[in-house]
Chain A
Amino acid sequence: MLNAGVILFVSFAYMGLLFAIAYAGDRRADAGASIISNPYIYSLSLAVYCTAWTYYGSVGLAARNGPDFLPIYIGPTLMSALGWVVLRKIIRISRIHRITTIADFIASRYGKSTVLGGVATLIAVVGIIPYISLQLKAISVSFLILNRYPDIAMPTHFTEVPVLHDTAFYVTLLLVIFAVLFGTRHLAATERHEGLVAAIAFESIVNLAAFLAVGLYVTYGLYNGFGDIMETAMADPAMKQRLTFPAQSGAWADWGLSIFISMMAVLLLPRQFQVAVVENVNENHLEKAIWLFPLYLLAINLFVLPIALGGVLRFPGGGVDPDTFVLTLPMAHGEKFLALLVYIGGMSAATGMVIVETIALSTMICNDLVMPVLLRPTFLSLYHRSDLSRLLLTIRRSSIVLVLLLAYTYFRFIGEFYGLVSIGLISFAAVAQFAPAILGGIFWKGGNQAGALTGLLLGFAVWFYTLVAPSLAQAGFLPMSLISDGPFGIGLLRPFSLFGLTDFDRIGHAVFWSMLFNAGAYIGVSSFTRATAIEHTQATLFVDVFRYSEEGESAFWRGTASAPDLQSLLERFLGREGAETALRRYAKRHHIDWDAAPKADAGLVDYAEKQLAAVIGSASARVMVASVVKEEPLELPDVMRILDETRQVIAYSRELEKTTSELKAANERLQEFRELDRLKDDFISTVTHELRTPLTSVRALAEILRDNPDLPAPRQEEFAGIIIKESDRLTRLITQVLDIQKIESGQFGWRFGPVDLREIIGDAVHTTRHLMQEKGIDLSLDLPEGIPTVSGDRDQLIQVLVNLISNAVKFSDGGAIAIRLGSDPETVRFEVQDSGIGIRPEDQDAIFNKFHQIKSSGRGRPPGTGLGLAITRRIIEHHGGTITVHSEPGEGATFKVTLPVSTGRNAPDLQA
């Protein structure tokens, strides 16, 4: 039989087992043989994420809303993927700065601010207490249901059970004792609780095993596997619909927002911070936890759907709360031992969460709320008391009692109004408010105290207004018109549809608005306000944590203290023994003869502050250390020194960048040189070739003349004529080569003066007239009056025109050549048009290159040296002008030259 006695006996026996495990864990730790120092225990302790909400509530949510229970576990899986980047950084920072709570993390990051620490603590307490009470409710309700075995009845008015007859009350008392015993056993600098972690890991195993047992029982005991349940369920259209997303417009956004807040929760819930960061023994345990923890979550969700469907099928009509299916299904089939196991599993899920959460909250309350107040100089008696370590422990223990009693009270008064899941999600949304301050704080140095404080307060206010105020209205503490009409009848401010936003569900709506205000204020205010020196220091230390050494202390603390002062300060909080141990450890590590050291240097002061920070929080620790340290005000040069390293790194990387680009530029120049070198080689070989051709014929003809003195006179005359012609050609070629060399090397003797282009054209035409007459070419000139003069070298410009005209003549047989002159205010243009063979488009650029001669089809080698146009272009360019060619094959060619009106010595130098 399952009577109250048996259930209570099993409950308390289970709690006893927990105590035993925790005790053994602590004993092993004291003996130096840690049982929790491995990645598997670490991963299991992370599973404290799964609470009674997971255990009972997931099934309820799946039965009511289908897939909505999954984002709460998918989020942590995704966060796990970022664990190596985000969580490891938080762990490293917390270890170096001896940070023990999430509130202290925020306070420390933003200049060790007592105000921020206090605000964060209040948010955590207000946000989490309902969540703890939810666990107590789960214990209470599951007991009441099991107690009615074999009947299945929903406990109604369970909060009317007298307190002294309520199991949850006794369980709460036991949890208080457990948390006090194993959570505040001593004040250690590390604040690690090995026994506690061992017990939590054990609870995670029990929790998972019990849930898998029910899942297997329902899936394979009551049905024939997944397919069977699904088939049965899908036969019902209403249930079939529940297996997919609703078509409602905000459903996807709600899903995404659920994933988001779960991601934040798994990082920022006080209990997660406790097990993942504070209780972390070795960062490398993350390597395995990154996938083991999600695997745990996957496993515990495998059977949620079958149990939910099984429950709906077994209890149609809604008489049984879906949140209890896990328990009521085995009961309905007479499986009392399984039901008992389920009850224990649920209790393990609930107690694990309650214990860790309570300890984390009590540390926060003590370090970030109570101590800053007590340590104010106005509390003089306390300020100078010799041993505060007992007091500290008393405060912690009182906080534990307070938190649990508050949670129990909440459960008694308000808990009945809510399903399991909605309370949990409200808490998730509350801790998500820490996200901007913490994630921004570890990746963005620009975030400062004003920004973090504004963001937290705004986010918390919106959270309270959109989630808590309506529930207060529903519970009768506020008028219901707040929800229906908005405050003072302002419809836009209705808490469930703020500013008219109605597409999201309540949680999604609250998360959206609170995160928008929170992150917006954090970024905005941070960007527009100045941070103090200590904020800058902490920002650098947090964001660049991997750059500084494990004990990167002395660089950042200034001022000195007398060693005895420091020692007595530590003794007040750590106790005589604790202080002694801590200081010996420091002396040993730094090879200092402690007894002979009258002065504590900056390093030791920093070390002492961190030891204190672990016990009383960073903000209070700073105040206390400041009271014994002759602190020199932090001045600008010090801040600069702190930032200097950062700057050096930046400078170094700039240097590196510069070197790289210089190398690249040098390489490019080298390529250019190579190209030039190649061009020079080409030039020389071409010149050699061009010189050799006429030379060869001169020599051959001269040899003929020498060897054949009896050659007839007309032949001799003919050969001599060719020799003269070829010699002329050679002379011309050499002159041109020299010219082009001079122009290119800038040594050409330019003689600039005002030049009238009409005159130039006239001279050039006169020089080439006989060439045109020989070929019978008609010349037409269009030389209008009033063309402005240009500044140029008269002889060279004549040369340009002679080159262009003779070029035109060369490629024309008969036909016509037209020379036109024109001007506008800035330039003078002339063009030489012929009606010759034209130039193929692909050759039009190349003709201005040295020795480029168009290989015309079937006409052999065209006459000329191949240097004329190259020289022409260089002369024009030296005058600051341009030369272009327009041509179609067979249609003739037009060379256009443009010269600036006032060109002259300011013409651009020729490129080398």
Chain B
Amino acid sequence: MPNGSPRNRRLSALFWLGLLLFNYPILSLFNASVVIFGLPLLYAYLFGVWSLLILCLALAARRPPTPPLPDAPRQNDRFR
């Protein structure tokens, strides 16, 4: 998305990452009848990625710390 505050960019990036991890072909790598942590590999993977994604969303969606007041004249100086 061109709409670019850092938060928007972080969240959009997470969206694309999620889309990648939850789909073919990455997903097919985990499509095996193996048990891991007491769960079938596929489910362990899906729920694992899902949890991590939510964690990342929580971190990425936090309100950015209020930036110090910008110095208005400073911005113009760059072009002088």
Which A residues have a C-beta under 8 Å from some C-beta of B? 67, 70-71, 74, 77-78, 80-85, 225-228, 230-231, 234, 240-241, 243-245, 252-253, 255-256, 259, 284, 286-288, 290-291, 294-295, 298, 301-302, 305, 546, 659, 663
Contact = CB atoms under 8 A, between A and B. Distances in A.
Closest 5 CB pairs of A and B: A227-B38, A252-B24, A81-B15, A291-B58, A291-B57
Nearest to B7: A84
A251 to B, nearest CB: 9
A62 to B, nearest CB: 10
A829 B19 CA distance: 67
B57 A290 contact: yes
Contacts of B22: 71, 74, 78, 259
5 contacts: A81-B57, A84-B61, A231-B35, A231-B38, A245-B31
B56 to A, nearest CB: 9
Contacts of B66: none
A84 B42 contact: no
Interface in B6-23: 7-8, 11-12, 14-15, 18-19, 22-23
B35 A298 contact: no
Contacts of A546: 3
Contact of B47 (A255, A284, A298): A298
B23 A256 contact: yes
Contacts of A290: 11, 57-58, 61
Nearest to A256: B23
Contacts of A243: 33, 40, 42-43
B42 to A, nearest CB: 6
B21 to A, nearest CB: 10
Given A85-B3, A85-B8, A245-B28, A77 B38 contact: no
A864 B1 CA distance: 67
Given A230-B39, A256-B23, A81 B58 contact: no
A256 B28 CA distance: 12
A77 B54 contact: yes
Contacts of A225: 38
Contact of A82 (B12, B37, B79): B12
B42 A245 contact: yes
A305 B23 contact: no
A658 B16 CA distance: 34
B54 A291 contact: yes
A36 to B, nearest CB: 20
B61 A85 contact: no
Given A252-B24, A298-B54, A244 B11 contact: no
B63 interface: yes
A190 to B, nearest CB: 25
A74 B50 contact: yes
B11 A84 contact: yes
A77 B50 contact: yes
B43 A81 contact: no
Contacts of B27: 252, 255
B29 to A, nearest CB: 12
B33 A305 contact: no
B78 to A, nearest CB: 10
A78 B8 contact: no
Nearest to A67: B42
Interface string B38-60: 11101100110011011101100
Contacts of A286: 61
Contacts of B35: 227, 230-231, 234
B32 interface: yes
Contacts of A663: 79
A340 B43 CA distance: 30
Interface residues of B, number: 39
Contacts, number: 113
A243 B62 CA distance: 36
Nearest to B13: A81
A78 B51 contact: no
B35 to A, nearest CB: 6
A614 B27 CA distance: 45
B76 to A, nearest CB: 12
A613 to B, nearest CB: 26
A256 B8 CA distance: 24
Contacts of B19: 78, 259
Nearest to A660: B79
Given A255-B23, A259-B23, A226 B63 contact: no
Given A67-B43, A252-B27, A663-B79, 5 more contacts: A81-B12, A244-B32, A290-B11, A294-B54, A301-B47
A287 B63 contact: yes
B70 to A, nearest CB: 18
B5 to A, nearest CB: 9
Nearest to A226: B38
A848 B18 CA distance: 62
A84 B46 contact: no
A301 B43 CA distance: 11
A857 B46 CA distance: 73
A244 B53 CA distance: 22
A663 B78 CA distance: 11
A145 B18 CA distance: 40
B80 to A, nearest CB: 11
A66 B7 CA distance: 36
Contacts of B12: 81-82, 85
A305 B47 CA distance: 12
Contacts of A74: 18, 22, 46, 50
A228 B24 CA distance: 30
Contacts of A291: 54-55, 57-58, 61
B23 A81 contact: no
Contact of A294 (B7, B25, B57): B57
A84 B8 contact: yes
Contacts of B1: 85
A71 B50 CA distance: 11
Nearest to A83: B11
A230 B38 contact: yes
Contact of A295 (B18, B32, B39, B54): B54
Nearest to A88: B8
Nearest to B19: A78
A225 B37 CA distance: 11
Contacts of B11: 81-85, 290
A301 B54 CA distance: 14
A297 to B, nearest CB: 9
Contacts of B39: 226, 230
B46 A67 contact: yes
A302 B39 CA distance: 11
B19 to A, nearest CB: 6
A230 B35 CA distance: 8
A85 B1 CA distance: 8
A459 B3 CA distance: 29
Contacts of B8: 84-85
A280 to B, nearest CB: 16
A659 B61 CA distance: 36
Nearest to A241: B33
Q: Taking each of B28, B32, B50, B79, which has the highest tally of chain A beta carbons within 10 Å of its own beta carbon? A: B50
A255 B31 CA distance: 13
Contacts of B14: 81
Contact of A287 (B3, B55, B61, B79): B61
B11 to A, nearest CB: 5
Given A252-B23, A252-B24, A244 B61 contact: no
B28 A240 contact: no
A346 to B, nearest CB: 24
A403 to B, nearest CB: 34
Contacts of B58: 290-291
Contacts of A288: 61
A83 B54 CA distance: 13
A85 B18 CA distance: 16
Contacts of B40: 230, 234, 243-244
A71 B79 CA distance: 51
A255 B26 CA distance: 13
Nearest to A240: B33
A170 B71 CA distance: 66
